[in-house]
Amino acid sequence: TIVLIASIAVVSAKTQGNIFATSALRSLRFLQILRMVRMDRRGGTWKLLGSVVYAHSKELITAWYIGFLVLIFSSFLVYLVEKDANKEFSTYADALWWGTITLTTIGYGDKTPLTWLGRLLSAGFALLGISFFALPAGILGSGFALKVQEQHRQKHFEKRRNPAANLI
């Protein structure tokens, strides 16, 4: 009801320019997310996701730890290769910024290696970054699928057990 009232208020507002009305309508999309969260009142989805994260916490921590080590190592190597030839990599902090942006595959492009060895290392570490950031997503996805399958199996077992118990 709040979303409906807010929508009517925005649409009926007589503004000189359509800019306010358009931006106000766009900001109301956030309220739709709150509405979706409200639909899951018991929190079953969030509990399920939390149990998956808890069940696979060792694997997730290991993947993130290895990813962190790769970040430190790759930044150090690129710093060593590029520090003399490239002013953008004058400090290790600059190389860490480059490593973070490259391994997370954001790729701003504000710091790029100039030497061929630096470019080769950069390409290799970018591919490695893709794999290490896909790994936790795969762990969570497979864990979520297994948990949902287990819940369906449990429901099916309950449906079979009750009639069998009544016969006995």
CATH number of residue 127's parent domain: 1.10.287.70
Higher pLDDT, 167 or 127: 127
pLDDT at 118 (0 to 100): 94
Gap between the Cα atoms of 134 and 59, Å rounded: 13
Residue in the structure block whose two tokens are 């970054």: 129
Across residues 66-82, what is the average pLDDT?
A: 94
Amino acid identity of 3?
Answer: V
Q: Please determine, for residue 1, whether its predicted confidence score (pLDDT) is greater than 80.
A: no
Residues 20 and 84 in one domain: no
Kindly state the greatest CA–CA separation across the chain: 83
Residues 15 and 75 in one domain: no
Residues 127 and 63 in one domain: yes
The pLDDT-based confidence of 79 (bands split at 50, 70, 90) is very high
Residues 64 and 16 in one domain: no
Q: Please determine, for residue 73, whether its predicted confidence score (pLDDT) is greater than 90.
A: yes
Q: Please determine, for residue 155, whether its predicted confidence score (pLDDT) is greater than 90.
A: no
Residues 70 and 136 in one domain: yes
Residue in the structure block whose two tokens are 């929190």: 43
Domain that holds residue 50: 42-167
Cβ atoms < 10 Å from Cβ of 77: 18
Are 61 and 136 in contact, with CB atoms under 8 Å apart?
Answer: no
Number of domains, the chain? 2
Across residues 91-116, what is the average pLDDT?
A: 91
Lowest mean pLDDT among 17-21, 97-101, 155-159: 17-21
Across residues 113-142, what is the average pLDDT?
A: 90
Residues 65 and 15 in one domain: no
The pLDDT-based confidence of 36 (bands split at 50, 70, 90) is low
Residues 34 and 66 in one domain: no
Residues 133 and 153 in one domain: yes
CB-count exposure of residue 36 (10 Å: 0-12, 13-18, 19+): exposed
Gap between the Cα atoms of 87 and 112, Å rounded: 10
Residues 63 and 139 in one domain: yes
Q: Please determine, for residue 61, whether its predicted confidence score (pLDDT) is greater than 60.
A: yes
Residues 17 and 88 in one domain: no
Across residues 85-111, what is the average pLDDT?
A: 91
